[in-house]
Amino acid sequence: MEALGLTPLDFVALAVLVFTAITMLWAPMVLQLSGPPWLLSHTEVGLFGIAGAVGAVGAAFAGNLADRGLAERVTGAGLVLMLIAWAPIALLDRSLFWLLLGVLIIDFALQGVHVSNQALLHLSGAGARGWLTAGYMLLYSAGSAIGSITSTLIFDAAGWLGVCVAGAMTGACALGFWLIMKRPGCVET
């Protein structure tokens, strides 16, 4: 990471923020969709996960771009898209279409950020790539837990709009942290 001016902790911290933000959507979504006015079954709510499978396309796309030296740009674009996705997600009370659109955007962007962030992490040339990946995955799981717990508490206190505001704020923190990571010394990879 010396050549990039970054440490593995920079990438891990970004992963924690990103996965906190994404699980702020998934965890309380079942609560919102299974209650009025939607009254969807758990199976029907689960179909939104299929829509999220579009993220696999995002992962492949990001991987190709990272291989061409554009991982940092993919990360930035993905973080912006993750933040923007909260606007249609917040419109769920108007139509399920808006939630579907937001899910497609946020999951596509998440996969891009995840793959490009790992590509940047592995540029360290460290011989302990397995340990780096294991630590990264462990702590992104911690971010997922943080997002799940906090979003259900927020949903209870402030409803769906509160969740969307908190998710967007977490996404904005991730984007802000990434901008700080781009300090002088960071180069395109």
Q: What is the DSSP string of 7-18?
A: -HHHHHHHHHHH
**pLDDT digits 0-9 by tens, 45-56:** 988 888 777 777
**pLDDT digits 0-9 by tens, 87-143:** 999 999 999 999 999 999 999 999 999 888 888 877 755 556 777 788 888 888 999
Task: Please check whether residue 9 is in contact with residue 136, taking contact to mean a CB–CB distance below 8 angstroms.
Answer: no
**pLDDT digits 0-9 by tens, 12-47:** 899 999 999 999 999 999 999 999 999 999 999 988
List of residues 6+ apart from 126 with CB closer than 8 A? 8, 132
Q: With a cut of 70, say whether residue 3 has pLDDT above it.
A: no
* Helix (H) / strand (E) containing 180: helix 129-181
pLDDT of residue 127: 56
Q: With a cut of 70, say whether residue 184 has pLDDT above it.
A: no
pTM of the model: 0.89
Q: With a cut of 50, say whether residue 170 has pLDDT above it.
A: yes
Tokens standing for residue 159: 């409803």
